[in-house]
Structure 1
Amino acid sequence: MTVVLVAGATGSLGSLIVKNLLERGATVRALVRPSSADGGTRLRDVAGHPRLSLRVGDLTDGAAALAPHLESVEVVVSAVQGGPEVIIDGQTELLRAAERAGVHRMIPSDFSINLWGYGYGVNILSDLRRTFAEAFRTSPVARTSVAIGAFPEYFLGPFHEVLDPAAGTFSIWGDGTRKIDITTIPDAAAFTAAIALDPMTAGRDVHVVGRQLSLLELRNEVEAATGRRWALVRKGSLDDLQTEIVRRQFAATNPFAYVALQYQTGMYGGSASLTDVRNADYPDVVPASVAEYLAGPGAAHFAVPESAVDRDDWPATV
């Protein structure tokens, strides 16, 4: 029976990874902060599960303090989010603790577009994840990175400026014909649990995806789901997109003003596209269609938000 520790276990993705691991028969240790020592609301459905234990700790506690939580653990899954102090510093402490405890593999908190399709300086959040990946070069712990493309939960939200319910518009850069990779958070969690329990993924980047469709096809799905027309706004070419990113960088007080567009330049230009997609390795994971997502939790995207998007905290990967 595989023992897995999940960091970031009370988050939207981490909690579902815990649930999927338990369903697959794993023994799970959920690393939770002292403020979530009871597991929080997201772990309520699995509270009391005989193969789940909560371990109270924080990545800032350091490797020595984290190591006892990792004794007898075979795989670490990190679903934490944040800036460099979390993605680089905190995860490095978790990796060092894993080394002390003899952990075999670690899945870092990537869960994003293809991080290796473009160089440094293109995407600030990708740079954080690639910087942390360097720590595995001299580590006995094998790295397994999971790439899923974009989460529609975020891509269709206010942060990406694609869908505007108040104006009834759907905005694109470029011609909108290139396929982009989209995977819901529940499907990403299901894939991640399967990959965590697959020893053949040690030392590999594993690309899995829910759906691949163009922006124009995505707009058609939105119109079909809502039964209304969403006016197509062509914001400019991909060169214009890059110019807009530079303009925002000069004017911004923090990276949240432009990082969504940094993701889009890679997605729309193709450099961030997933390659060697391995869905067939996990046939029991059946991703939701875009129509199913939009008819379910995705319907919330069509309501006018009550407040402006929060630009004061580090966003999720995509």
Structure 2
Amino acid sequence: MAPTVAIAGVTGKFSQCIIKALQSHPEVTIRGYCRSPQKLPKSIIDSDRIEIIAGEFDDYNSIRNFVRGSDVVICCYFGGPEVMTQGQQLLIDACEEEKVPRYIAGDFAVDFTKIPPGALFPKESAMIIREYLKSKNVAGVHILTGGLMETFWSAFFGIWRPETRSLSVWGNGDEKWELTTFPTAAAYTAAVALDRNAVGFLRCEMKPPFLPHLIEERVKLTYLKVCGDRKSPEEIKETFDRVYGCQMRIDRLGSIEELYGAVEEAFNRDPNDLARWAPACFAYWCTNGKAYLGDNLDNNRYPAVEVVDLESFLVDHKMEELHKADQLLVA
């Protein structure tokens, strides 16, 4: 039977990259969920392989209608804690009620499983959803990608300053960034969605009353760790200079510890002002070495996926367009 892949938050850039990856499989049917279908490109609206369902992130009846009959649900929500936590919980609840077997969680990021409880982390919803999935009869998958390469160069982080051709970084310049392009991360997500075996692990438990009765339960969750490249600011500069034939400057703003202090200060001033503290906080976890994906990556699990490294990414982008590389994804 042809698989049906349901994507929540289908107007986003990442979800549209996933759609592009899935469309190379003509047997796949795609179902999208969003608040404003009019924001979608005409190519998606007019496609006979894509069904769009409109609804709010907390409209449970619409969500159940959206997930019903699908083989896997991918969350591509992008928003505040309410959307990323309550919104995902409602998706998972609907999957359980409609007997959708698999759920790919939102917040593609660093290895949040290594972040200690209570630490400031802008994607805390990923931790909450990991625990929530443990109580549900839905097999969850978290896809960990490090930072997204297009976002690294965007105004979101405030690292790349095109007017001065410089990187503004915290640390000594040797801290590594693990970076993956949107299309690479999307291709892996599509591959996981189409892999019916990507369903978590088997748990055996003792069942009363007397004899050891082993129960296999194909639930819980698994993690797919993929990375396009791993480079320090100094190595990024070296690659940049070689590709573009001009010099990048690196401006050091302070130590990694001072970065976390600045994040704490901004958070304490206004925890709800995510735009002020979240980008720097995410940069902290990208570079402090505690939440790295590590060397045990899953890149080879899906060999058909083309992994784009930093040099290939730069070759494919004009220098004056780096700061809007994320916008060009859906241009």
TM surpasses 0.5: yes
Count of matched residue positions in the alignment of Structure 1 and Structure 2: 299
Who is 2:304 aligned against?
A: 284
Counterpart amino acid of 1:29?
A: R
Partner of 1:10: 11
Gaps of 5+ in 2: 200-220, 325-331
Structure 1 residue 234: deviation in Å?
1.8
Q: Greater strand share, 1 or 2? A: 2
Counterpart residue identity of residue 16, structure 1: C
Q: Among the aligned pairs, what percent are the same residue?
A: 25
Aligned-pair RMSD on alpha carbons?
A: 2.1
How far is 1:82 from its partner? Answer: 0.4
SS in 1 for 2:114: coil
Q: Distance in 2 between matches of 1:168 and 1:121?
A: 37
Distance 1:71 1:302 in 2: 40
Say whether residues 1:265 and 2:284 are aligned partners: yes
The 3-state SS of whatever aligns with 1:132 is helix
Please tell me whether the aligned partners of residues 4 and 75 of structure 1 are also in contact (alpha carbons under 8 angstroms).
yes
Match of 1:53 among 45, 51, 54: 51
Q: 2:233 aligns with which of 183, 208, 215?
A: 215
Distance 1:68 1:121, change over 3 A: same
Cα offset for 1:300? 4.5
**Matched residue, 2:328:** none
SS in 2 for 1:59: coil
SS in 1 for 2:122: helix
Q: Is the 8 A contact 2:67 2:98 kept in 1?
A: yes
Q: Which shows bigger deviation, 107-116 or 237-246?
A: 237-246
Alignment of 1:206 with 2:208, yes or no, is no
Over 3 Å counting, the alpha-carbon distance change for 1:45 and 1:220 in structure 2 is: farther
Shift of 1:262: 1.3
CA 1:298–1:204 in 2, change beyond 3 Å: closer, same or farther?
A: farther
Contact kept in structure 2, 1:91 and 1:132, CA below 8 Å = yes
Specify the alignment match of 1:308 in structure 2.
none
The two structures have a TM-score, normalised by structure 2, of: 0.83
Aligned to 1:140: 137
Match of residue 258 from structure 2: 240
2:312 and 2:268 map into 1 onto residues whose CA distance is 40
Aligned-pair CA distance for 1:32? 2.7
What does the per-residue CA deviation read over 1:187-246, in whole Å, with 9 as the maximum and x for residues that have no partner? 111110001112232121111111122221112222233332222212222222222222
Does structure 2 conserve the Cα–Cα contact (< 8 Å) formed by 1:153 and 1:298?
no
* Whole-angstrom distance in 1 between the partners of 2:143 and 2:24: 20
* Alignment of structure 1 residues 21-36 onto 2, 5 Å: 21-24=22-25, 25-33=27-35, 35-36=36-37
How big is the shift at 1:270?
1.0
**Does the C-alpha gap of structure 1 residues 235 and 20 become closer, same or farther in structure 2, counting only changes over 3 Å?**
same
1:312 is matched with which residue? none
In structure 1, C-alpha distance between the alignment counterparts of 2:108 and 2:265, rounded to whole Å: 28
> In 2, Cα distance between the equivalents of 1:159 and 1:10?
19
Secondary structure at 2:5 match in 1: strand
The match for 1:196 is 193
Are 1:17 and 1:189, in contact at CA under 8 Å, matched by a contact in 2?
Answer: yes
Distance 2:44 2:260 in 1: 45
Structure 1 runs not aligned, ≥5 long: 306-318
Q: TM-score, normalised by structure 1?
A: 0.86
Q: 1:298 to 1:251 in 2, by over 3 A?
A: farther
Using the alignment, how far apart are the partners of 1:230 and 1:250 within structure 2? 34
Displacement of 1:145 after TM fit?
0.6
* Greater gyration radius: 2
Question: In structure 1, what residue type is equivalent to 2:58?
Answer: T
- Three-state SS of the structure 1 residue aligned to 2:69 is coil
